[in-house]
Amino acid sequence: MKKILSFLLVASFSCPLFSQVSGGGEEERPMEVSTSYSMVYDRDLPVLLDLPNVFQPQGEQSASCRKDWHVGVDVTTFFRDAEFFLPYTKGYTATGFFLNPYVRRSIGSNAQVTMGVHLAGVAGYEGIRKWQPLVRLEYEPHRNWRLVMGSLYGTLSHGLLEPMFDRERYIYDHQEEGIQVLGNLSFGPCRLKTDTWIHWEELLEPWQPTQERFTLGSNNDIRLLALPLGEGNGELNIRVPLSFLGCHRGGQFTALDTCIQTLFNENIGLRLSWTEQGHDMLDIDVPFFFYQDMSPTKLMAYPNGWGIWPQVSLNEVLPQWKRSSRWRGAWRLQLQAGYWYGHQFIAPRGSYLFQSISWHNPDFATPEREMLTAKIALANAYNKLTMGLDAEFYYDLREKGLDMAVGLYMRYCL
């Protein structure tokens, strides 16, 4: 706590702005093609409030893994209990697993191909609930850019915030297929990390009673400034997040006589972060969200809307646990508190907890939303195994009711 107080004192004299950061203390380095993760949100110790970075592909491989052939497996087990009683969405309880065995082949030093299968199982369902081929080609035409086609580094790896992208989608819509471009650029003290993708969700075959569906997204993390706070005190980072998500359904060759729909969401904000050794220790975020219905025929409850979600996050390493012989691995605690205000806000891929409409009741709509949010997460990394426990609380100030969820997750990557 002494370090946090000294940080606040120095920060008050260093910079008056509040902005965004994500690991700003790391050393600049070129992209490595033979890494299986989205470089936009690279952490060496997962923290579950970004719902599991435990769930995100592991960080940079060791030198022994950078070889022509690599056979691996990625296993995730989860328990999720969502107690949602307010009129916006329904709760559920699920426990299950994801199993991704794969083979990766390097193509020279700037490309690679990954082939495998994605298997999903849920307790209470006999057999494998879902299986899907995993095929990914990656090519680095420039040291700062990477092109991914096939199976994407998707869902939570994009790093979008909850109002725009529901974290539950990791469980019920895990795989994304399409095209993705990852970038990492530096301009003096400024840095841009970008992830842009298109996820094709449904194919339209000529004259079939369906519509094509796809999602186009881009998440960009812009570091404007990094200010050293003195020896042993880390640094102050000022960042601007800039995100976009567009969802479309339609098509020309369809037997359905229905409307084309195109919905957009955007996010821009500021984050002020104190980082030590590449880890965010204290974050102050002020993100703004926007919504537009750009459909020719508007069917949504509102044509446009907006929201704001200021938050404070505290991340703390637990060294006393690391020194104790009773505890294994490295531990990290994260606490987060925020306030949400939304005006006619709708997000087709976002969490309904933040929206002005209901997932299960098409006749329900409320133009104004006010909510207090609080989250706590504990994460542990031990060799190639990661574990996390989190609890989330959403108190609606207008409905005078509480929604909450708890989760336990484990992941092993070889």
> What's the pLDDT at 321?
58
If one compares 192 and 234, the residue with the highest pLDDT of the two is 192
If one compares 375 and 381, the residue with the highest pLDDT of the two is 375
Strand partners, 104: 70, 114
Are the C-beta atoms of 214 and 204 separated by less than 8 Å? Answer: no
Please report, in angstroms and rounded to a whole number, the separation of the first and last CA atoms in the chain.
Answer: 37
Are the C-beta atoms of 332 and 320 separated by less than 8 Å? Answer: no
Are the C-beta atoms of 191 and 71 separated by less than 8 Å? Answer: no
| Distance between CA atoms of residues 356 and 364, nearest Å | 9
Written out in words, the top-level CATH class of the domain with range 2-413 is: mainly beta
> What's the pLDDT at 253?
59
- Taking only the tens place, the pLDDT of each residue in 121-159 is 999 988 888 899 999 999 999 999 999 999 999 988 999
Q: Which residues lie closer than 8 Å to 74 by C-beta, 6 or more apart?
A: 57, 98, 99, 100, 101, 102, 411, 412, 413, 414
pLDDT tier at 170, thresholds 50, 70, 90: confident
Is residue 306's pLDDT more than 50?
yes
Residue 254 DSSP class: B
> What's the pLDDT at 110?
92
> What's the pLDDT at 257?
54
Q: Which residues lie closer than 8 Å to 188 by C-beta, 6 or more apart?
A: none
Is residue 44's pLDDT more than 60?
no
Q: Say what the pTM is.
A: 0.82
The mean pLDDT value of the chain amounts to 82
Is residue 330's pLDDT more than 70?
yes
Is residue 111's pLDDT more than 90?
yes
> What's the pLDDT at 171?
86
> What's the pLDDT at 134?
95
| Distance between CA atoms of residues 331 and 387, nearest Å | 10
> What's the pLDDT at 208?
67
Q: Is 2 exposed, middle or buried (0-12, 13-18, 19+ CB in 10 A)?
A: exposed
The closest of 176, 220, 182, 183 to 198, measured between CA atoms, is 176
CB neighbour burial string for 246-282, b if at least 16 within 10 angstroms, e if fewer = bbbbbbeebeeeeeebebbbbbebbbbbbbbeebbbb
Is residue 351's pLDDT more than 80?
yes
Domains of the chain, by residue range, sit at 2-413
Strands 368-382 and 330-343, sheet pairing: antiparallel
The closest of 356, 378, 384, 390 to 59, measured between CA atoms, is 384
pLDDT tier at 204, thresholds 50, 70, 90: confident
